[in-house]
Amino acid sequence: MREPEPDAGASALDPTDPYRREAQTFPVLGPDLVARVAAYGTEATIPAGAFLYRRGDRAADFVLVLDGAVETFDEGPNGERHVLTTHQAGQFVGETNFLNGRESLVSSQACADTRLIRMPRGEFRRMMAAEPDIAEIVMRAFILRRVGFIRHGHGGVTLLGSSHCAETLRLQRFLTRNGYPLRVVATDRDPEAAGLLRRYALDAHRLPAVIAPGGVVLSNPTTWALADRLGLTEPIDAATVFDLAVVGAGPAGLAAAVYAASEGLSTIVIEQEAPGGQAGTSSKIENYLGFPTGISGQALAGRAQVQAQKFGARLAISRAASGLHCDARPYRIALEDGGSVRARALVVATGARYRKLDLDNYDRFEGQGIYYAATGMEARLCEHQEVVVVGGGNSAGQAAMFLSGTASHVHILVRGPGLAATMSDYLVRRITTSNRVTVHPFTEVTGLDGDAFLRTVTWRDGRTGLAAARGIGALFVMIGAAPNTEWLSGCLQLDANGFVLTGVDAGGRALPSPFATTTPGIYAVGDVRSGSVKRVASGVGEGSVVVQTIHRFLHPALS
C-alpha cells in the first residue's frame, strides 16, 4: 500500500499522525473477516479507471477490495491529483462520511482491474450492527482517516482572512467544530496571502473568503450557505415523520440520540452550529468519568456524533429551530431556513448560552477581542499577551488553565470572594498554585476600549473602589447562563428564568418522568431544564435515561 504523504515539516516518526498508524488507519482484513464482510455485499469486478465515488457524492457504497487496487485521492485547486492511499486486497475504502448523508471529501478510483465487495448503505448498517468486532475495526479506521484529513488539510477548503477578524473566526470555528478539514491563510501574517488575493481577485471588501474545490470562492458566507455548499447538511424529506427529534447536539442531546437510535427509534438531531454545545468549546474536561488524562469538549462531542450516526441517527447541522407547532401530533419543528421536521416525540436539549456584560463598546468588540470559548484558535491569537477571564465556574477555570499555557498571564475576575463556592476543587487548587494566573475577587469589568480590536480592559475592585486599566486584547466572558428556549412558542411551561419546567404538572402532581414536560411526548434534558446540574456527566445521564420514558410513550402496549 502506498502511504499518504504528510505535510511539509511533519515528522515522519510522529506517532500521533493517523497516517503513520497504518495498521489501524488502513487495516488489512484476514480471510475470515473478508468472508464475513462478503456475506453482506455483492461481488463485482470493475475496470481500471472506474470511479467508486467522486468528491461531492452522497451515501457512497462501502467497498472491500478482493483483488486489484483502488486509489483514494484529493484534488488541488487546479485539478491536480494528490493520492492519499492505495487500497489493496483486504482493505476497505471510506471515512466518517459513510455514516451519514454528507458529501464525500475525496474520490476513489480503480487503478487496475479490481474485484471487490460492494455494500449499499442499508446493508452496511446491518453489518455494523451484527458484527461488532468488524464494526470496531471500521469505526476506528474511519475516525483516524478523518483526523488525518483534518491534520493535513486533505479534502478541505482554504479560509482566507485576517486572523483577528470576527467573521474569519466565525467561519474557522464553524468548520473546525464540525470536523471539516481546512487550511487558514491569514492576510495579516501569511506570506502566501498576497498571491491568493491576486489569483482570486479578492479585495478587503470580499474577505473573509472560503476557497472551495474547483476554485469556487464564497465571500463571507453565512454558516447556512457554507454548510449547504460543502455538503455538511443532510437533505430532510418534509414528509418523513421521525420517532424522535432531538433539538440541540450538546452532551445531553447527543446522549439521547445515541441511546434512542441504538434502541431502534428513527432519530434526528437538529443543531444550530456544531455538535458539543457549550461543552464543545471547553479546552479540556478533566473530571469526566473514564478520561483520566482529560478530553477536549470538541473531541468528546465528535466521538458522540459519530457514535449516534453509527446507530443510524440523522444530524441536521446549521439548522436552528425557530418555532414549535405543538397543537397536533406529530409535532412540527420549524427551522430558520424555512424547512421543518416532524416527529412523534421531542427532546428539548438546546442548553444555555453565556450571558453578556452590560458595557459600552461590548457589541463592537465581540469576536474582535471578546470571546466565549477558549480553544486552540483563541489561544493562538493571544500568545505572549495578558488575557482576562470573567467568571467563576468550571468553564472559566478550564479556560484560564488552558490559556495560561500560551498567554503571558491570565487574570480571573469574579464578583464574589473567590472560586471555592462555584468551581471544582481540583481546578481551584491548580489555579491558586499557578504563577501565571491571578484571581481578582470582588472585581468587575467597567470599561472596554480599542480601535478595530479590543486594546484596553478596565476593571474595578469593589472593596477599594480602585480601577485599573490594562493593555489587554482578549477578554473571555463565561458568566451565568441564559436558556435557549425562545423557539418553544409557548408550548412548554418555563420557570422565572426561562428554563423548561419538568417532572410535575400545573397542579404540582408528579409526571411519569423527571424529564417530562406538561406537553405529552415532549421532554427536556441538560442545561435547558429547570433545576438541572450544569455538568457534562449529568447532561449525558439525563439524555440516556429519558429514552426509556420515550419508548413507553411511543409504545404504551409494551409498558
441-488 residue pLDDT tens: 999 999 999 998 899 999 999 999 999 999 999 999 999 788 999 999
Last residue of a domain, one of 480, 513, 541: 480
Full domain range(s) for residue 423: 355-480
Letter for the amino acid at 158?
T
Question: According to DSSP H, which parts of 251-370 are helical?
Answer: 251-262, 297-310, 362-365
Q: Are residues 438 and 384 in the same domain?
A: yes
The whole-number average pLDDT for the span 208-217 is 88
Q: What is the pLDDT of residue 518?
A: 92
Q: Are residues 470 and 534 in the same domain?
A: no
410-441 residue pLDDT tens: 999 999 999 999 899 999 999 999 999 999 99
Q: Are residues 251 and 346 in the same domain?
A: yes
The whole-number average pLDDT for the span 242-255 is 96
Question: By C-alpha distance, which of 267, 284, 502 is closest to 376?
Answer: 284
The answer to whether residue 234 is domain-embedded is no
Q: Identify which has the larger pLDDT, 122 or 331.
A: 331
The answer to whether residue 5 is domain-embedded is no
Listed range (332-346, 429-443, 500-514) with the worst mean pLDDT:
500-514
377-407 residue pLDDT tens: 888 888 999 999 999 999 899 999 999 999 9
Note the Cα 322 to chain centre separation in Å. 20
The answer to whether residue 4 is domain-embedded is no
Question: By C-alpha distance, which of 363, 377, 376, 321 is closest to 346?
Answer: 321
The string of DSSP letters for 261-279 reads: HHTT--EEEEESS-TTGGG
What's the N-to-C CA distance of the chain in angstroms? Answer: 54
Residue 128 has pLDDT above 60, yes or no: yes
Three-state DSSP class for 133? helix
Last residue of a domain, one of 151, 186, 205: 151
134-182 residue pLDDT tens: 999 999 999 999 999 999 989 999 999 998 888 999 999 999 999 999 9
CATH number, domain at 214?
3.40.30.10
The whole-number average pLDDT for the span 273-299 is 84
Q: Are residues 274 and 364 in the same domain?
A: no
Last residue of a domain, one of 480, 503, 531: 480
Residue whose cell numbers read 475577587: 441
Give the span between the Cα atoms of 406 and 383, in whole angstroms.
5
Share of the chain above pLDDT 90, in %: 69
Q: Which three cell numbers stand for residue 155?
A: 479534502
- Omega of the bond prior to 208 within 30 degrees of 0, cis? yes
Q: Are residues 38 and 143 in the same domain?
A: yes
The answer to whether residue 10 is domain-embedded is no
Give the span between the Cα atoms of 416 and 391, in whole angstroms.
10
Q: Are residues 23 and 142 in the same domain?
A: yes
Q: Which three cell numbers stand for residue 159?
A: 479560509
Residue whose cell numbers read 452522497: 58
Q: Identify which has the larger pLDDT, 245 or 535.
A: 245
**559 pLDDT band (50/70/90 cuts)?**
low
> Over the range 250-277, which residues count as b (16 or more CB within 10 Å of their CB) and which as e?
bbbbbbbbbbbbbeebbbbbbbbbbbbb
The whole-number average pLDDT for the span 318-333 is 93
The whole-number average pLDDT for the span 295-301 is 87
The answer to whether residue 492 is domain-embedded is yes
Helices then strands, counting H and E runs in the chain, come out as 14, 28
> Domain tally for the chain?
4
**77 pLDDT band (50/70/90 cuts)?**
low
The answer to whether residue 11 is domain-embedded is no
Q: What is the pLDDT of residue 294?
A: 85
Give the span between the Cα atoms of 111 and 204, in whole angstroms.
44
Residue whose cell numbers read 446493508: 123
Q: Which three cell numbers stand for residue 274?
A: 456544531
For the stretch 211-220, contacts whose Cβ atoms lie closer than 8 Å and that sit 24 or more positions apart, written own/partner, are 211/77, 211/157, 211/158, 211/159, 211/160, 212/157, 213/55, 213/75, 213/77, 213/157, 214/77, 214/79, 215/77, 215/78, 220/167, 220/171
Three-state DSSP class for 27? coil
The answer to whether residue 400 is domain-embedded is yes
Share of the chain above pLDDT 70, in %: 97
CATH number, domain at 261?
3.50.50.60
Q: What is the pLDDT of residue 6?
A: 46
The string of DSSP letters for 181-249 reads: -EEEEETTT-TTHHHHHHHTT--GGG-SEEEEGGGEEEES--HHHHHHHTT-SPP--TT-EEEEEEE--
Q: Are residues 433 and 504 in the same domain?
A: no
- Exposed/middle/buried for residue 18 (C-beta within 10 Å: 0-12, 13-18, 19+): buried
Q: Are residues 470 and 488 in the same domain?
A: no
The whole-number average pLDDT for the span 256-283 is 90
CATH number, domain at 62?
2.60.120.10
Q: Are residues 325 and 377 in the same domain?
A: no
Q: What is the pLDDT of residue 279?
A: 80
The answer to whether residue 236 is domain-embedded is no
- Strands of the sheet containing 386-390, edge to edge, are 370-371, 475-477, 386-390, 409-413, 437-440
Q: Which three cell numbers stand for residue 365?
A: 468588540
What values do phi and psi take at 538, rounded to 5?
A: -70, -35
Q: Are residues 109 and 52 in the same domain?
A: yes
Average pLDDT value over all residues in the chain: 91
pTM score, whole prediction: 0.86
Q: Are residues 289 and 249 in the same domain?
A: yes
The whole-number average pLDDT for the span 276-300 is 83
Residue whose cell numbers read 471539516: 180
Q: Are residues 113 and 183 in the same domain?
A: no
Q: How far is CA 424 from CA 46, 147, 420, 429, in A?
A: 59, 32, 7, 9
Give the span between the Cα atoms of 19 and 92, in whole angstroms.
15
Q: What is the pLDDT of residue 11?
A: 43
